[in-house]
Amino acid sequence: MAGALRLSTLDAAFLYLETPECPMHVGSLSLFQLPDGYDGDFTEAFKAQIASRMDAAPMLRRKLAPTLLDLDHPSWVEDDQFDIDRHIFRGGLPAPGDMATLRRLVGWMHAKLLNRARPLWEFYVFEGLPDNQVALYAKIHHAMIDGGAGVALSKIVYDLVPDPAPREAAGASTAASDRKTSAAELAGAIAQTAFGLWRRPFDKEAAAAPISLPRTGRTDFGSVLIDHALTQVETGLKVAAAMPAMARSAAEALPGLLDPQKLKQLPQMVPPSTPLNTAISSERSFGTSTLSLKKVKAVAKAAGGKANDVILAVSAGVLRRWLQERDALPDKPLSAAVPVSLREEGNADTNNQAFAMTCRIATDVADPKERLARVIAASGEAKAMISPLKDFVPHVQSASTLGMPIAMQVLALLYGRSGLSNVLPPTANVIISNVPGPPVPLYAAGARMLDLWPVSIAVHGMGLNITVQSYMDKMAVGLIAGANVLPDVQRLADMMVEELDVLAAA
C-alpha cells in the first residue's frame, strides 16, 4: 500500500476550521534544569537528540499534500526537503527574562500559523533563564495529534534518565514506503480484501480482522476519485459490521434522550451568554498555574468524584469570581465543552481519537462543596448520555463528501468574519480539558524537565480554553484566551490555586 496517508475527516477538520484568527495547533511550555556546571550548547544537543529519533516518529517528517481543487481530504507525504533547522529554533527571551515575559512571548507565538509547506510542528528553545534553566515552547498542528497522541509522542522525544543508551533504529526509512501503488497491485489488494470479507461470516479469525481497503496514495484527479470511492465503500462495510453494536447503543440511548422530564429541561440546558462568548482577535494571552495532584485526588476521593470533576469545579469557581467582578454572572450555570478520548490503552497513533461532551459546571452555586457535588452529578449525566454514542462516533468521524474541504473552509471564514459568534447562543461557554501525563520525570539532552504546561486552542464563541496535564506529582494548568477577551488571563490562572484551596477546605 502507498506511503501517503489520507487524513481522516476529524483530523482534516482542524485544517478546514483554521483561520488567521483561530490557529488550530496545540502545544506546551516546559522548563528544564541544566546539570550543575553545564557548559554545552543545549539547543544543538536537543536538536541532535530529536534528529536521532525521527525514525521512531515518522509523522514529524511528513507534510500535507492537498488534492486537486481541495476536492477531498489531503494526505501526509514524506517531505523530501525536510530540514530540522526549519523546525527547531533558538529563541531570545527579552529582559527581565522571567516567567511573565515567557508567558507573554508564548501567547504571541501561539497566535502565529504554522507553515503548511512543511511538516506542521516547531520547537523554540529559550536559554539563559535564571537558576541555570532553559525553556522549551513546542507547537504541533491538531490535525496531527490529540492529547493522548501528544503524551505518546513525548515518550519518543524525551528520555526517562539523564544519560540514556543510544536507541536502535525503528526500521527502514519512511521514504521507502512512499512508493505509489500500481494498478495491478491495487486490483490484487481489493480482490484479496473482498475474499476476506466473504470469509468473515464463516471464519472467526477473518471476522476479527480490521476492514481496510487499499488506496492509490496519489493526488491526481482520477486517483482522488478512486480513493474517495474506496473510502466510502470501506466506511459502509465498517458501519455494516458494527450495526449490531450500534443498534444496541441506540436502544440504550433513545429512552434517555426521549425522556419527557429531560425534554422539559432542554431550554434550561442552553448555555447563557457571557463576555467569554464572542469573536476573538488574532492575538493570544497565556497563563500558567500548577496544582497539587495529591490535593486534587484527595478532594475527589472525599467528594466521591474523579480528578476531572475537581478540575471542572475549580474552573467553575474561578469563572464565577471573574464574572462576579464584572457584574456579568448569569443565573443559569455555565457549560463546559469537555473532550473525551476514544483512544484504547496502549494506542500511540499520531491522530485524533476523541469527541466532546458538554457539562454544566454549577457557576450559579455559591457554596464550593455544593458546587462540586453538582458538577459530579452533571458530569455523570453527561457521560451516561454520550456513552452509548461511542459506537457511532468513529464512523461519523470517517465519513467524507467530495467538496467538503473547500466548503468547510469557506464556512469557517464566513463564521469568523461575520461576527455570528457575537449573536448566536454559544454551544458551550468554555473549553476545559484534562490530559493524563507522565508520572515520572522526563529528560532532554541531559536536562531534567521541571514543569510541563499545555497550550491549547481558543475559538470564536469560546474565548477561553483551560487545559490541565498531570506531570509527576503536579497538575499543570495552561490557560489560552483571545487577548481581546482576556488580556490578563494569568489572573485567572492564579485563582486556580486559590480555588483548589477553598474546595479542599470545604
Write the single-letter amino acid at 125.
Answer: V
Query: What is the DSSP-derived secondary structure letter of residue 28?
Result: E
Which residues are 75's β-sheet partners? 6, 65
CA–CA distance, 175 with 166 (Å, rounded to integer) = 23
The per-residue pLDDT for 289 is 97
Residue-level pLDDT at 409 = 86
How far is it, in rounded angstroms, from Cα 359 to Cα 336?
5
Sign of CA dihedral 205, 10, 63, 149: negative
DSSP SS3 for 73:
coil
Q: What is the pLDDT of residues 309-334, one digit of tens each?
A: 999 999 999 999 999 999 999 999 99
The grid cell for 137 is 515552547
- DSSP-assigned beta bridge partners for residue 139: 27, 122
Q: Which helix or strand (DSSP H or E) is residue 474 part of?
A: strand 474-482
| pLDDT (tens digit per residue) in 390-423 | 666 655 556 666 667 888 888 888 888 888 888 8
As a whole number of angstroms, the distance between CA 121 and CA 135 comes to: 17
306, 378 in Cβ contact below 8 A?
no
CA 377 to CA 344: how far, in whole Å?
26
Locus of grid cell 526549519: 86
Q: How many CA atoms lie within 13 A of 226 on its CB side?
A: 17
Residues 6+ away with beta carbon under 8 Å from 405? 12, 15, 16, 66, 67, 70, 71, 72, 73, 74
Which helix (H) or strand (E) covers residue 455, if one does?
Answer: strand 447-455
**The pLDDT of residue 247:** 67
- Cα 392 to its chain centre, rounded Å, is 20
Before 96, cis peptide (omega within 30)?
yes
Element (H, E) at 407: helix 404-418
C-alpha cell at 187: 486490483
Short-list 467, 499, 498, 469, CA closest to 480: 467
pLDDT at position 270 is: 85
Q: Do 138 and 88 form a contact (C-beta atoms < 8 A)?
A: no
Catalytic residues: 142
Low-confidence ranges of the chain (pLDDT < 50): 1-2, 171-178, 195, 197-198, 201-202, 206, 347
Q: How many CB atoms lie within 10 A of CB 53?
A: 17
Whose CA is closest to 399, among 412, 408, 387, 409?
408
Q: Could you tell me the pTM of the whole model?
A: 0.83
What homologous superfamily is domain 265-411+422-505 in, according to CATH?
A: Nonribosomal peptide synthetase, condensation domain (3.30.559.30)
Task: Answer whether 361's CB lies under 8 Å from 378's CB.
Answer: yes
Q: Note the pLDDT of residue 174.
A: 40
User: What pLDDT does 137 receive?
Assistant: 96
User: Residue 260 in contact with residue 249, Cβ under 8 Å?
Assistant: no
pLDDT at 431: 96
- At 369 the pLDDT is 95
Question: In this predicted structure, what is the pLDDT of residue 408?
Answer: 85
* Cα–Cα–Cα angle for 158, 164, 167, rounded to 5 degrees: 80
- The domains of the chain are located at 265-411+422-505
